[in-house]
Amino acid sequence: MKIITALRLATTILLAALILLVPALVALPFRQPARTRIMTYPFQLFSYLLRWIFGVRLAAEGQRHTRGPLMKNHLFISNHLSLADTPLLLSLSPYPFIGKKEVRSVPIIAFAGNIGGNLLFDRDDPEDRKRIHRDAVRRMREVSSIYLFPEGSRSKTGEPKPEPRWGLIWTAWQENIGIVPIAIFGSEKVFEQLTTRVWIKYGQPLLPADFSTKEQFAVACWQRVHVMFNELKAAAKATVSGIAIQSAQSSRQ
């Protein structure tokens, strides 16, 4: 499996060179709104092909809540299980991400993501966290909505963490920016198996005007992620049980 994973990762870099590099260079002279528009569909194609390369069978619902490419004034928040989460989300609705500065070391993909509008910051620097909040609000107002994994790091249990980092969600309430909650189930197995079933669900946006405090807003947004995660978990168990029953019936015939 390690050899297969290494081949898949090498193919990922090759695909990035073929699909992302030229559009990124074309977009480089332009201002950010044009850069993001230019990189939207190359990133979606690249991410869609990665699903095939890594053997992901994806069941998704609710993408209509993103209202098409380059919707503004919304923050998409998701639980975080795997490095695969980012390309899986991009394959469905291609928007920039907020991420840690270590992503800059990824060849070609980091460069293209920077051109496309990704915002990276130092998680250990409080001042850099404040900067990213300001930059994110400006981007969501002027360019496009943004993805965020508010847990800060991948879950080690396979379940969403009880509490994420609230900072940018609180800022969204203060700036009247809606939150689109997202749940992912099953992606932690992508790098361990030849084929993997993954479930993703986008929820209906939550609006700051419907909540009297930033704390109520933030808790409601994260609770919605938990609820949808449990719905996906139940759907996954039902799917696996159904496949097992069909296999048993086929073996008897």
Q: What is the mean pLDDT of residues 225-246?
A: 82
Q: What is the mean pLDDT of residues 163-172?
A: 95
Give the pLDDT of residue 64: 87
pLDDT surpassing 90 at residue 249: no
Give the pLDDT of residue 170: 97
Measured CA to CA, the distance from residue 183 to residue 216 in angstroms comes to 20
pLDDT surpassing 90 at residue 253: no
Higher-scoring residue by pLDDT: 198, 153 = 198
Candidate from 40-49, 118-127, 206-215, 236-245 with smallest mean pLDDT: 236-245
Give the pLDDT of residue 152: 87
Give the pLDDT of residue 244: 46
Which tens digits make up the pLDDT trace of 70-125?
589 999 999 999 999 999 999 999 999 999 888 888 999 999 999 999 999 988 88
CATH 3.30.2310 fits 2-248, yes or no: no
Measured CA to CA, the distance from residue 211 to residue 214 in angstroms comes to 7
Average pLDDT across the chain, whole number: 91
Give the pLDDT of residue 129: 86
pTM of this structure? 0.91
Which tens digits make up the pLDDT trace of 13-54?
999 999 999 999 999 999 999 999 999 999 999 999 999 999
Indicate the pLDDT class of residue 219, thresholds 50, 70 and 90: very high
pLDDT surpassing 90 at residue 65: no
- The residue extents of the domains of the chain are 2-248
Measured CA to CA, the distance from residue 17 to residue 3 in angstroms comes to 21
Indicate the pLDDT class of residue 246, thresholds 50, 70 and 90: low
Q: What percent of the chain has pLDDT over 90?
A: 79
CA 48 to chain CA centroid, Å, is 13
Q: At 202, list the tokens.
A: 């986008």
Q: At 65, list the tokens.
A: 């809540």
Q: Give the other-Cβ count within 10 Å of 75's Cβ.
A: 26
Report the first-to-last Cα separation within the chain, whole angstroms: 33
Q: At 86, list the tokens.
A: 């980012």
Indicate the pLDDT class of residue 68, thresholds 50, 70 and 90: low
Phi, psi of 61 (to 5 degrees): -150, 155
Q: What is the mean pLDDT of residues 57-68?
A: 87
Indicate the pLDDT class of residue 241, thresholds 50, 70 and 90: low
101: exposed, middle or buried (C-beta count within 10 Å: 0-12, 13-18, 19+)? middle
